[in-house]
Amino acid sequence: MVMKNFADKLVAAIRAKGTPICVGLDPRIEEIPQFLVRAVASEGDYSATMLAAQVIIAFNKAIIDAVHDLVPVVKPQIAFYEVFGEDGIYAYRETLRYARSKGLLTIADAKRNDIGSTAEAYAQAFLGEVSMFDGEEFEVVTPIFEADSLTVTPYLGWDGVKPFLEEAEKYERGVFALVKTSNRSSGDLQDLVMADGRAVYEIMGHYVDSWGADYIGESGYSALGAVVGATYPEEAKKLRAIMPQAFFLVPGYGAQGATAADVAPCFNSDGLGALINNSRGIIYAYKKLEGFGEAAFAQAARAAVLEMREELK
Amino acid sequence: MVMKNFADKLVAAIRAKGTPICVGLDPRIEEIPQFLVRAVASEGDYSATMLAAQVIIAFNKAIIDAVHDLVPVVKPQIAFYEVFGEDGIYAYRETLRYARSKGLLTIADAKRNDIGSTAEAYAQAFLGEVSMFDGEEFEVVTPIFEADSLTVTPYLGWDGVKPFLEEAEKYERGVFALVKTSNRSSGDLQDLVMADGRAVYEIMGHYVDSWGADYIGESGYSALGAVVGATYPEEAKKLRAIMPQAFFLVPGYGAQGATAADVAPCFNSDGLGALINNSRGIIYAYKKLEGFGEAAFAQAARAAVLEMREELK
């Protein structure tokens, strides 16, 4: 069936910005410029966790302000927020809210996974809306995170992906399932070879292709995408053929060692089909690029995006 | 190496309580007795999400009060808390804190998974402590969730398990890795058969056995356990032989259809080695057991635990 879906929005945003860069918002508190921590601390009498949350919000807003006109998507990794408990989750919601207000699409990188009503609860939180009683027996419905898409881990099979995809569809949102991850030991499970000669990551690719077939949009891409690491270009090439209609979310560029040549196999012949993520290489560019001190961290992030855009051309 | 570890605490708690029951604290807001919602709503002027959080806390405290002298462990499933954003996460922390104060061991059922510093951030949040700058360049260190153990999803291989296990070890805490899950489509990935005739779940069992070998405690059990669904007793039997030193966290009892006979293969000949989880069958027992109205939901939970204890004997 053909409809407007998350992938259509993604294609439109990539065309509008002229690049498939995704900026990873991984605010490791020890890498954020210390002047920013001191500035935020001087503004209010915060608990330690709320100070961390406010620092993260200030940092992310500056990065978003500096790059929002250049890139289509940002991807906050929730672990770096969750580590500060409920205050960190507040910072996560604020980050998503601010990115949306600047016209960016968002990927909640949370790698959630579960089944049945448990998966539904996660899906409602990240992609949909939540119902609550208010004590007088009628329902209050409210969105929580309002992310445009969510990463999920498919160890549990279709039961563990379907509830996310169904919730996503209701709100024109999307899901990225892990298929071949960028890390060194991803092969422990993903490269195991079946009796028929195929590796587990290929089978997972076939599943994603088939699970996503009912969720194709006008652009020809499905609302179900796949995470495919840039550090394994040979595997990416095979997966591109197995999942022609899946958008690839590609980690591993930059800090993890992958180059523009490595990510080339992740694209379809239409020049679309992949989002290339860079986290540390952009948001902490002030540590590496010459001519930027820590006070110019946001300008350094912008310069790093412009440089990556050229590399990808 | 032999040391005191999470499994030793688990063995001591199971012996002290005389049963391996784990009570799953899955507070689906629509299944919580409505009188409790109204009572909490009348106490304060809460936002909708904070009302949900306060209802969850009140519900869980009543359940914990009713069962804490009977069972060794509780397992709150974080999806049902996260669905209410930062207020839900506050309720999650409060639930863990209250369970600890009543002498219970806790399993944070969050199925987290990632690699490197991202996995470390999750591990610090759930199992360890978190460092923060306070604006004057020294570190404030604080625990966040303080769970005794955490479920993790091993799709990323050893890189995705090691950071959790290392953090757990520092604090005498533990990790349960998904191996064979209880859901209907768990076989999509987990039952795929390798060229050598073994299924993926068996290979994952071997990994868990080998990854956990450096984390064995006095009891002979490792700090790395495995999630093995009660709904697949044949597979559980094989896995018990593959992972003799791993504690099994066994979902699927009761509401998902598994019986005492089904969970028998999850135990070692010492009568130990498995924790049998029951969520809905205990916490919402007031809906099924005769003689308990919704006002007696906590007493019904206690009755359900006593009944399950007899069934398992």
- Per residue in A74-88, pLDDT (tens digit) is 999 999 999 999 999
Domains: count for chain A: 1
Is B133 within 8 Å of A34 when comparing Cβ atoms?
A: yes
Answer whether residue A251 is part of any domain.
yes
Interfacial B residues in 254-273 facing A (CB < 8 Å): none
**Residue B117 burial by CB count (10 A; 0-12/13-18/19+): exposed, middle or buried?**
middle
Structure tokens belonging to residue B63: 């359940």
Residue A62 banded pLDDT, cuts 50, 70, 90: very high
Evaluate if residue A139 carries a pLDDT over 90.
Answer: no
What local confidence, expressed as pLDDT, does residue B143 receive? Answer: 95
- Kindly state the average pLDDT of the residues A32-50: 92
Q: Which residues of A touch B188 (CB under 8 A)?
A: 154, 157-158, 207
Evaluate if residue A138 carries a pLDDT over 60.
Answer: no
Give residue B264's region: left, alpha or beta (phi > 0; psi -120 to 50). alpha
Evaluate if residue A133 carries a pLDDT over 90.
Answer: no
Domain that holds residue A269: 6-312
From the candidates A43, A57, A83, which should be mutated to test the interface with B, based on the most B CB atoms within 10 A? A83
Output the pTM of the full model. Answer: 0.97
From the candidates A32, A35, A46, A132, which should be mutated to test the interface with B, based on the most B CB atoms within 10 A? A132
What local confidence, expressed as pLDDT, does residue A136 receive? Answer: 66
Please write the tens of the pLDDT for every residue from B127-158: 999 987 766 655 778 999 999 999 999 999 99
**Length of chain A counted residue by residue:** 313
Judge whether B221 is closer than 8 Å to chain A, CB to CB.
no
Structure tokens belonging to residue B260: 């005492």
Judge whether B137 is closer than 8 Å to chain A, CB to CB.
yes
Nearest CB partner across the interface for B193, out of A153, A195, A207: A195
Bridge partners (DSSP) of residue A76 are A25
Please write the tens of the pLDDT for every residue from B153-205: 999 999 999 999 999 999 999 999 999 999 999 999 999 999 999 999 999 99
| Beta strand extents in B223-301 (DSSP E only) | 224-228, 248-250, 274-278
If one compares A245 and A34, the residue with the highest pLDDT of the two is: A245
Indicate which residue of A9, A17, A61, A111 is catalytic. A111
Judge whether B159 is closer than 8 Å to chain A, CB to CB.
yes
CA angle A117, A123, A124 (to 5 degrees): 90
Evaluate if residue B2 carries a pLDDT over 80.
Answer: no
Answer whether residue B229 is part of any domain.
yes
Cα–Cα distance measured from residue B57 to residue B111, given in angstroms and rounded to the nearest whole number:
22
Judge whether B152 is closer than 8 Å to chain A, CB to CB.
no
Give residue A106's region: left, alpha or beta (phi > 0; psi -120 to 50). beta
Please write the tens of the pLDDT for every residue from A266-284: 999 999 999 999 999 999 9
What local confidence, expressed as pLDDT, does residue B135 receive? Answer: 62
- Kindly state the average pLDDT of the residues B13-24: 98
Evaluate if residue B32 carries a pLDDT over 70.
Answer: yes
- Look up residue B29 and give its DSSP letter: G
CB pairs < 8 Å spanning A and B: 244
What local confidence, expressed as pLDDT, does residue A140 receive? Answer: 78
- Kindly state the average pLDDT of the residues B217-233: 97
Residue B26 banded pLDDT, cuts 50, 70, 90: very high
Contact A121, B80 (CB under 8 A): yes
CB < 8 Å & 24+ apart, contacts of B296-300: B297/B33, B297/B36, B297/B59, B297/B62, B297/B63, B298/B62, B298/B63, B298/B65, B298/B66, B299/B66
Residue A185 banded pLDDT, cuts 50, 70, 90: very high
Is A185 within 8 Å of B157 when comparing Cβ atoms?
A: yes
CATH number at residue A75: 3.20.20.70
Answer whether residue B54 is part of any domain.
yes
Share of chain B above pLDDT 70, in %: 97
Q: Which residues of A touch B125 (CB under 8 A)?
A: 79, 82-85
What local confidence, expressed as pLDDT, does residue B227 receive? Answer: 98
Please write the tens of the pLDDT for every residue from B258-312: 999 999 999 999 999 999 999 999 999 999 999 999 999 999 999 999 999 999 9
Distance from CA of B16 to the nearest CA of A (A): 31
Q: Can you state the angle between helices B48-67 and B85-101, rounded to 10 degrees?
A: 20
Judge whether A3 is closer than 8 Å to chain B, CB to CB.
no
What local confidence, expressed as pLDDT, does residue B59 receive? Answer: 98
Active-site annotation holds for A170? no
Give Cα B189 distance to the centre of its chain.
23
Nearest CB partner across the interface for A93, out of B85, B93, B200: B85
Residue B82 banded pLDDT, cuts 50, 70, 90: very high
Evaluate if residue A209 carries a pLDDT over 70.
Answer: yes
Task: Write down the mean pLDDT value for chain B.
Answer: 95
Is A37 within 8 Å of B80 when comparing Cβ atoms?
A: no
- Give the pairing type, strands A248-250 and A224-228: parallel
Evaluate if residue B216 carries a pLDDT over 70.
Answer: yes
Cα–Cα distance measured from residue A306 to residue A285, given in angstroms and rounded to the nearest whole number:
12
CA angle B270, B104, B257 (to 5 degrees): 65
Evaluate if residue A2 carries a pLDDT over 60.
Answer: no
Q: Measured between alpha carbons, how far is residue B69 from residues A6, A170, B6, B107 in Å?
A: 50, 45, 20, 17
B295, containing H or E segment: none
Evaluate if residue B1 carries a pLDDT over 80.
Answer: no
Evaluate if residue B313 carries a pLDDT over 70.
Answer: yes
Answer whether residue B1 is part of any domain.
no
Share of chain A above pLDDT 90, in %: 90
Cα–Cα distance measured from residue A303 to residue A286, given in angstroms and rounded to the nearest whole number:
9
Interfacial A residues in 23-52 facing B (CB < 8 Å): 26, 28-30, 34, 37-38, 40-42, 48-49, 51-52
What local confidence, expressed as pLDDT, does residue A134 receive? Answer: 67
How close are the terminal C-alpha atoms of chain A, in Å? 33
What local confidence, expressed as pLDDT, does residue B132 receive? Answer: 79
- Kindly state the average pLDDT of the residues B114-122: 95
Query: What single letter denotes the amino acid at residue A137?
Result: E
Is B142 within 8 Å of A83 when comparing Cβ atoms?
A: no
Answer whether residue B212 is part of any domain.
yes
What local confidence, expressed as pLDDT, does residue A3 receive? Answer: 64
Answer whether residue A1 is part of any domain.
no
Query: What single letter denotes the amino acid at residue B24?
Result: G
Complex prediction ipTM: 0.97
